[in-house]
Amino acid sequence: MLRLVHRAEEFVPARELELQEPFVRTAHELIHGRSGAGNDFLGWLHLASEFDQVELRHIEEAAARIRATSDILVAIGIGGSYLGARAALQFNGHAFADLLPRGEKPLTVLFAGNNISPGYLTDLLQVLDTGEVSVNVISKSGTTTEPALAFRFLKEYMEKRYGKAGAAKRIYATTDRSKGALRTLATQEGYETFVIPDDVGGRFSVLTPVGLLPLAAGGVDVRALLGGATEAEKALARPTIAENPAYAYAALRSILLQKGKGVEMLVSYEPALHYFAEWWKQLFGESEGKDHKGLFPGSADFSTDLHSLGQFIQDGSRVMFETVVRVAQPRGSLTVGELAGDADGLNYLTGKSVQSVNDAAMEATMLAHTAGGVPQIQLEIADMTERSLGYAFYFFEKACALSGYLLGVNPFDQPGVEAYKTNMFAILGKPGYEAQTAALAKSRDR
Ligand code: PA5
């Protein structure tokens, strides 16, 4: 369902990879023996195979209710509380779903709370009047400013439109079992709630109600998603690089970092993977970028970005390697026809599938980038089904955990995210941050 096809062999000889085996085995034991740093956040490891069936039915029932009563679901959340759902809706959905004729059109899922733009929020509140609305507010901590602020506006909108009791029936809260302002608010207002397990961190939470409720509402087959992840759980439980492609990928990243390649670009020739790459960036960036270590995770959509970033990748600073994600069987099968007169000069492609042209672009680019000193890892996702995506989510989560331990960091915390928050609260004058506000004022005066 997901294969490691090319492993940068031009830059990493097989013996170098083999030398990583003992380190990989140790890191594997830290994960499976639950003895590494952050081991109280390993809930994602068997989440799919052990998913509570009562909870799954609860999610499906709520999703069916949302679909029956709404045209639009606003999913409010940031980071791990939105990227997974956004990735899956894009990967498994129609590229222009909102323009499909009624009837064929699934429920529209719109996102909020992932920025603080007044323009975005104003526009969102304006379009909500075009249909019936439900809201899913998602925050593990229940205290994150961006989603809390967006929800304040959305709550007001919903209450004005549906009345307090009517709004409460259309608002679903996904949060911690007992802690946080969102839990308190949900209890106070009587919202239907979904629990994010204590042992699953935000960026590992796509296969909890965080991702599953908006996905089920948006028409994604969440059972197949969990099925794919369950399959990955079994296939990727082996302890060696030779047997476990997620570990081979992690070991390759580690070797390439040691060789001075400090930037990893996740690239794909399938635009439906755009938000998957955003999800992947958070997963690896927040898990590894600490203690002044780690690879910087970037992404590009090819061939689009070959006409912008392509020059730099081919010819700029030699700091990066690429992980190319190919979809073996994409949606749609178009064949190039013949044009009388060949005015556009494309008749040499007659009879070829568009996929084969896309593959030619990929092969050509991989050859050119390899020649230009950019190592190429290639992964292949079988198709664009929920099963394959579930497998891919788990593949990268497992690779990320192992990678973090190989690097010598705790892959499950995110202390660096707090620094900007403290400054922001100090600037805005949040109660409890008086000392920081004073310190900031002092430094500004200097
Ligand atoms: O991975 C993480 O834990 C974070 O990036 C969170 O997903 C993000 O900060 C959102 O947090 P919360 O769900 O608590 O609002």
Using DSSP's 3-state secondary structure scheme, residue 408 falls into coil
Which of 86, 144, 421 for mutating ligand 1's site (highest number of atoms within 8 Å of CB)? Answer: 144
Give the number of the atom of ligand 1 that is nearest the alpha carbon of residue 175: 13
Catalytic residue among 146, 192, 231, 286: 286
DSSP secondary structure, 169-218, as one string: HHEEEEE-SS-SHHHHHHHHHT-EEEEPPTTS-GGG-TTSHHHHHHHHHT
Query: Is there a contact between 134 and 74 (Cβ–Cβ < 8 Å)?
Result: yes
* Domains of the chain listed by start with CATH number: 2-36+226-407 (3.40.50.10490), 43-220 (3.40.50.10490)
61 is catalytic: no
60 is catalytic: no
The CB of 397 under 6 Å from ligand 1? The reply is: no
Query: Is there a contact between 212 and 222 (Cβ–Cβ < 8 Å)?
Result: yes
Does the predicted TM-score (pTM) go above 0.95? yes
- Collect all residues with Cβ–Cβ distance below 8 Å to 198 and sequence separation of at least 6: 40, 43, 176, 177
Residue of the CA atom closest to atom 2 of ligand 1: 202
Give the number of the atom of ligand 1 that is nearest the alpha carbon of residue 78: 10
Query: Is there a contact between 117 and 57 (Cβ–Cβ < 8 Å)?
Result: no
Mean pLDDT of the chain: 96
Q: 47 CA to middle of ligand 1, Å?
A: 18
Q: What are phi and psi of 303, to 5 degrees?
A: -85, -5
Catalytic residue among 234, 307, 418, 442: 307
Residue of the CA atom closest to atom 3 of ligand 1: 202
Per-residue pLDDT of the chain (446 residues; tens, 9 = 90+): 899 999 999 999 999 999 999 999 999 999 999 999 999 999 999 999 999 999 999 999 999 999 999 999 999 999 999 999 999 999 999 999 988 987 887 899 999 999 999 999 999 999 999 999 999 999 998 989 999 999 999 999 999 999 999 999 999 999 999 999 999 999 999 999 999 999 999 999 999 999 999 999 999 999 999 999 999 999 999 999 999 999 999 999 999 999 999 999 999 999 999 999 999 999 999 999 999 999 999 999 999 999 999 999 999 999 999 999 999 999 999 999 999 999 999 999 999 999 999 999 999 999 999 999 999 999 999 999 999 999 999 999 999 999 999 999 999 999 888 888 888 888 988 999 988 888 888 887 77
Rounded CA-CA distance 379/249 in Å is 9
